[in-house]
Amino acid sequence: MTAGTNEAGHLTIGGCDVVSLAEMYGTPLYVYDEHTIRSMCREFVGGFESEYADSHISYSSKAFTNPALAKILEEEHVGMDVVTGGELAIVRAANFPASDLNFHGNNKDRAELEEALDYGIGLITIDSMYEIDLLDEVARQKGVTQQVLLRVSPSIDGRTHLLTSTGVLDQKFGFPIETGQAEEAVRHALTKSNLDVAGIHFHLGSPLFELEPYTQAIPYVLEFVAKMREHGLEQRIFSPGGGFAIGYVSDTLPLEISEYAEAIGASITEACDRFGLNEPRLILEPGRAIVGRAGVALYTVGGTKEIPGVRTYVSVDGGMGDNIRPALYGAGYSVIKANGPDEPVAGYVTIAGKYCESGDLLVKDAPLPALETGDVLAIAASGAYCLSMASNYNMSLRPAVVLVNDGNARVIRRRETYDDLLAPSIL
Ligand SMILES: *Cc1c(COP(=O)(O)O)cnc(C)c1O
């Protein structure tokens, strides 16, 4: 949102010259713009509240997590979802309010559940029969009654990539409504004296560029909720998950947050009216849409391989170790020359990573100005699911993260060192 160009002809973000940031902190470097993060939080909080008063935004921290981000979210009145004890540890380090946390995941173990209960977590979303029994037992041992949601699967296709589609019948998440297993789970959970079943959750996948999957699934799931009253379910909370899309490439533009809010809000109000349900508290779980656009990845150009009449590969100092999405999902990105964003396009080049896989390509056939060794490339919309999926493949060092705002840059994660690589090894 704050991207611009300065007198030197360099890309700026948050008032900072990104070429200077690259020099100062090295590349690959992930730059997050605080203004964009806060603006997206406000778009979600305000956008949903204006369409459905009792809404609450809970950021899906798997998209990117860091204590500094947790602080920003807390200030913006946004809660957080975690899916492992590790994510919980990060948000605990920021003293994030426990009441505003929701623990997701299809196979949380006993230790993770204990850690969550010890922290006094507000909500746990249960994903299996095994977990209903396990959590009830852990809660009894701790002498607490845990507020929970049950995750159902509505057999609705979010029309996104197969590997990120979570609403269809044949995938691992949630109790299927279609097969009667969701009903069985509700009945079973309601018999547990240390579980307080507050409602139902579903998540269709990500990113969803259309409204229809939501507006199809919401009445279907709320009809199920209404039916479950016969077993004693009293709905207080309802969550249609996250999955809100962002723009990665210019020919696939996302919806406005207000469009999602309008459709989802109206859909819930209508369905509650139709099935005679009280209007529940609504929880939305955006991950990508809060941080995706806010993050920009910077790389330095190394060597170039030009295969005459075939393709030109320009190698950079990062790749699938810090952003596996192109290799994993065929995800598309747009890239610019950060030290010459306004220079004319000289041709199409493929940006290759430095990892030992031929599939390690960040952007295929990108229109770019003439490039030489030492130029800095910026890949937009790199804020979600890049660093959170980063690895040490090839024993490479995961990048530093800089938070920029109003001309100031603050390192919120330092670059890894060889000592970090060796720390777990026993010599
Ligand atoms: C991943 C996930 C989300 C967030 O998805 P985004 O596309 O990042 O918005 C929300 N809810 C659940 C349960 C998830 O697994």
16 is catalytic: no
One domain, residues 357 and 411: yes
CA–CA distance, 235 with 228 (Å, rounded to integer)? 9
One domain, residues 29 and 98: no
One domain, residues 73 and 138: yes
CATH number for 212: 3.20.20.10
Question: Is 241 close to ligand 1, i.e. is its CB under 6 Å away?
Answer: yes
Question: Is 33 close to ligand 1, i.e. is its CB under 6 Å away?
Answer: no
Classify residue 45: in a domain, yes or no: no
In the structure encoding, which two tokens stand for residue 290, read together? 């809060």
Q: Per-residue DSSP letters for 157-205?
A: ---S-GGGB-SSSSSSSSEETTTTHHHHHHHHHHT-TTEEEEEEE---B
One domain, residues 151 and 283: yes
One domain, residues 157 and 267: yes
Strands (E), 38-78: 55-60
pLDDT surpasses 90 at 163: no
Classify residue 389: in a domain, yes or no: yes
Classify residue 84: in a domain, yes or no: yes
One domain, residues 383 and 328: yes
CA–CA distance, 260 with 199 (Å, rounded to integer)? 21
pLDDT one-digit tens code per residue, 294-318 = 999 999 999 999 999 999 999 999 9
Q: Which of 44, 58, 62, 126 most suits a substitution to test ligand 1, by most atoms within 8 Å of the C-beta?
A: 62
Classify residue 134: in a domain, yes or no: yes
**What spacing in Å lies between the alpha carbon of 203 and ligand 1's midpoint?**
7
Classify residue 41: in a domain, yes or no: no
Classify residue 44: in a domain, yes or no: no
| Single residue among 289, 314, 349 that ends a domain in this structure | 289
pLDDT at 162: 66
SS percent in the chain: helix, strand, coil, step 5: 35, 25, 40
One domain, residues 87 and 136: yes
| Single residue among 289, 308, 331 that ends a domain in this structure | 289
Ligand 1: which atom is nearest the Cα of residue 292?
A: 8
pLDDT surpasses 80 at 166: no
One domain, residues 235 and 306: no
Q: Are 246 and 260 in contact (CB under 8 A)?
A: no
One domain, residues 239 and 312: no
Question: Would you tell me the crossing angle of helices 67-75 and 34-51 to the nearest 10 degrees?
Answer: 40
When pLDDT is averaged across residues 259-276 and rounded to a whole number, the result is 98
Classify residue 38: in a domain, yes or no: no
Q: Are 397 and 416 in contact (CB under 8 A)?
A: yes
What letters, b where the CB count within 10 A reaches 16 and e where it falls short, cover 60-80?
A: bbbbbbbebbbebbbebebbb
Helix spans in 52-109 (H): 67-75, 85-93
**Which residue's CA is the closest to the ligand 1 atom numbered 15?**
203
Q: Are 47 and 274 in contact (CB under 8 A)?
A: no
One domain, residues 364 and 260: no
Q: Which amino acid is at 421?
A: L
CATH number for 336: 2.40.37.10
Q: Which conformational region is residue 365 in: left (phi greater than 0), alpha (psi within -120 to 50 degrees), or beta?
A: left
CA–CA distance, 27 with 90 (Å, rounded to integer)? 24
pLDDT one-digit tens code per residue, 341-400 = 999 999 999 999 999 999 999 999 999 999 999 999 999 999 999 999 999 999 999 999
| Total count of domains within the chain | 2
Question: Is 243 close to ligand 1, i.e. is its CB under 6 Å away?
Answer: yes
Question: Is 60 close to ligand 1, i.e. is its CB under 6 Å away?
Answer: yes
One domain, residues 97 and 171: yes
Main-chain phi, psi angles of 303, to 5 degrees: -90, 165
**What spacing in Å lies between the alpha carbon of 183 and ligand 1's midpoint?**
24
pLDDT one-digit tens code per residue, 13-33 = 999 999 999 999 999 999 999
Classify residue 40: in a domain, yes or no: no
pLDDT at 158: 75
In the chain, the percentage of residues whose pLDDT exceeds 90 is: 95
In the structure encoding, which two tokens stand for residue 104, read together? 């997701």
Q: How many CB atoms lie within 10 A of CB 372?
A: 8
**What spacing in Å lies between the alpha carbon of 403 and ligand 1's midpoint?**
23
How does residue 54 score in pLDDT terms, banded at 50, 70 and 90? Answer: very high
| Single residue among 240, 261, 289 that ends a domain in this structure | 289
Could you list the residue range(s) of the whole structural domain that residue 15 is in? 4-33+294-422
One domain, residues 140 and 191: yes
